Amino acid sequence: MSIPTPPELERAPSGRLATRYADLLVRLRWWVILLWSIITLAMIALLPSLGDSSGGNGLDGLVPSDTPALRNELRSHELFDLPLLARTVLVQRDPDGLSVYAQARSVTNAVAVNRGRYDVQPLLGALPFSNTLGLFPASSEKNTTALTYLFFSPELTFGRQTRSARAYAEQHFGPADHVVGVTGSVPARGQQGRIISANLSTVELTTLAAIILIVGLNFRSPVAPAVGLCATAVAYVITLRAAGALAASFGITIPSELEPVVLALLLGIVTDYVVFFFSALRHELDTGADRLTATRAATAQFSPIVAAAGLAVAAGAGALLAATSVFFNALGPALVLTVLIGLAVAITLIPALMAILGRAIFWPTRLKASDHRPAPERSGASVSPRSVAAGARTRSPLHAIAHSRKVATLTATACTVGLLVASLPLLHMGLGVSFVDSLPGKNKVAQAAEAAQTGFAAGILSPTVVLLQDDDIASRRIELRRLGNLLESQAGVAGVLGPGDLPSRLDVGTLLAENRNAARFLVVLQDEPLGAAAVSSIDALSDRLPELLEQSGMQGARAGLAGDTATASYIVQQTREDVLRIALAALLANLVMLMLFLRALVASIYLLVASVLSLTATLGLTTWVFSLTNPGHGLTFYVPFTAAVLLLAFGSDYNIFGVGHVWDAARRQPLADAITTSMPRTTRAIMAAGLALAASFGLLATVPLLPFRQLAFAMSLGILLDVLVVRSLLMPALLTLVGPVSAWPGKRLHSPVQGDSGD
């Protein structure tokens, strides 16, 4: 069976190709379903899942191994017998006072570990200290808290280190020792992975429930969301297996944070395209077409639009490949792969299911009797565009915007000013690397961290080491003590442990190298060591270090910083340097996709600017909200840039879908009438798709980790701003104000006739 080619496709260069593609897909509908079923089963049977390839140790997946902070840390290990930096910490605390025996036991146990008297493999060493009499720098209390830094090989997994630390505590400490627990960046990273794994099924179920509700209400049918979820399930399985296989093949360590993001993106994007295709199918069925004819028409009309929109999202996500960050280099391919697989499923499996099910997709909704009459344009009747527009006109905000330049100007001005004001907090955005502080308060690792920080200072779990190297530096005791005092006086520093602060028999090998050519200071910060405030403090300290060396008389000595905060500073700095590269790549990719589809430069530019305004407003509001709820922590470094790339890509996605219909109608009728007649239909579909996408990302907040709450808030807010403000108000206002010039240098739009744009 064949159908006449719709007029809009006849005028489109890709119309004949799209029609042939739709006809072929409908004829091969059962084979398409069989092929995807075979691919899915083969993937499950033969390939590993993404979760099998995630994990890593330390900061794997976040930083390269040759960062300055890590190089300084390795050099410190080479020069000194005892490391000062540990990412796993055993905490003892009694608010009423830790007994002398409990404090002594932490020391004697550590000595036994260091001398090999305990069989505590793979534990390599231990360094104990307490806030006895407030002698240790940064002690906020006296005689309440003792910490033992535990040292492991960095090759061990998070879980192995944490389990070994807990086994050490259980075997060598008793109830009288008041062990609170084990904490630090390594146990925190391990807990993050476990929390993500434990909550992934919750994210899946709640997201699916939200999508079923939104899509079901939009189409008034339980079948429509069920069919969409079948397609989504296929895309999800194939994506996770393909990503896992690629990671295993190339030896890539995939951060555990990626899997929920991939899930949200896939559920959201496939649901988007389900809504678009089903909206088109319902429209065709409403004209009285049978299921195969309706599927061909809907597929021919929307496959090019969905393909262009999907490629725009993939190209936008691919902008992350322009970054130098290890994390973004892993995130970029994962997102591109997710989008491309979702797109392939959307333009093949969904139309095949539509061809088989037809009207059953919208059960139990019944068509009205009048809906079975052929549409005027299908039957070839001559219908005046102005009469159609007149029949459709209502005194809606859209009608007012499209037919009055004054209203359009006021709308565009109000939207622009509002978005710019919302963007202002972006000027003060701070970035951090969330580990311990991202955990929920009831988590045992978080509780142990709180106990340690209460007894000392917030930065006690991950202090920073200042490493100095120079010939016979150990003999310059006065200058070293002067430098220690200067370090302690710096903003954000709670306390410093340096040469001369320990008994002489402990100084050598701990703070002074045995070859006398190196010295080091342990700097404890006032703020959580991986938050934005601590990163800012360490940046300031790094900048001032040459001046401090000169003031103390240590000029000529080589100095460097090591530790988690210094590493976090590198991550943040690298991320900030990547901003320009990512931004240019994302803007260029989205601009090219818009120009290729719309064949217009002017409209592509102002539509992209509108999406950027929505994006900056989103990030500004996100910065403001989390500066109030989590002061000093800042946004997790990858959150704003992941959100920015995805929101910009989805903005282009909705631009292509929304403006594409206006563009086609404006070839045959005045632009104001085209806006009035075409946009309500596309706006409803975009609204449903946007709500589903916002729910998909918003429900990432069910993972009780700070970065996921931040990303969920940013993505859901950004999508809603784009749908409710940019797509519904700003876009028609800009189209009205710029007018037919929007199409330059492409084919001219219909020139407005007198009265079309009157006030």
Pairing of strands 493-497, 179-183: unpaired
Question: pLDDT category, 468, cuts 50, 70, 90?
Answer: very high
**CA-only gyration radius of the chain, Å:** 31
What does the pLDDT look like over 397-418, one tens digit per residue? 888 888 888 999 999 999 999 9
Q: Lowest-confidence range among 193-202, 243-252, 338-347?
A: 243-252
Which has more pLDDT, 386 or 194? 194
Q: Where are the alpha helices (DSSP H) in 47-178?
A: 50-53, 68-79, 100-114, 158-172
Average pLDDT over residues 596-618: 89
Q: Lowest-confidence range among 211-215, 259-263, 442-446?
A: 259-263
What does the pLDDT look like over 183-242, one tens digit per residue? 998 899 888 888 888 888 888 888 888 888 888 888 889 999 999 888 888 988 888 888
Residue type, position 694, single letter: A
Residue 463 preceded by cis peptide, ω within 30: no
Average pLDDT over residues 477-496: 92
Q: Domain ranges for the chain, please list them.
A: 13-46+190-370+392-431+569-743, 88-183, 463-562
Question: pLDDT category, 755, cuts 50, 70, 90?
Answer: very low
Q: Which residues of 401-422 are buried (b: 16+ CB within 10 A; e: fewer)?
A: bbbbbebbeebbeebbeebeeb
> Global pTM?
0.82
Class of domain 13-46+190-370+392-431+569-743: mainly alpha
The yes-or-no verdict on residue 133 having pLDDT over 90 is: no
| Domain covering 463-562, topology | Alpha-Beta Plaits (3.30.70)
Coil, strand, or helix at residue 497?
strand
What does the pLDDT look like over 705-734, one tens digit per residue? 999 999 999 999 999 999 889 988 999 999
Question: pLDDT category, 373, cuts 50, 70, 90?
Answer: very low
The yes-or-no verdict on residue 24 having pLDDT over 90 is: yes
Hey, which CATH number is domain 88-183, 3.30.160, 3.30.70, 3.40.710, 1.20.1740? 3.30.70
Residue type, position 555, single letter: Q
Residue type, position 319, single letter: A
Phi, psi dihedral angles at 146 (to 5 degrees): -130, 140
Tokens standing for 543?
A: 């900048």
Average pLDDT over residues 497-518: 81
Do 88-183 and 13-46+190-370+392-431+569-743 fall under one CATH topology? Answer: no
The yes-or-no verdict on residue 329 having pLDDT over 90 is: no
Single out the residue of 190, 221, 225 nearest to residue 209, CA to CA.
225
Largest CA distance in the chain: 101
Q: Which residues are bridge partners to 675 per DSSP?
A: none
Cα torsion angle, 445, 134, 540, 430, sign: positive
∠ Cα 617 619 624 (to 5°): 95
The yes-or-no verdict on residue 73 having pLDDT over 70 is: yes
Q: What mean pLDDT is reported for the chain?
A: 83
Coil, strand, or helix at residue 468?
strand
* DSSP calls for 423-454: HGGGGG--EE--SGGGS-TTSHHHHHHHHHHH
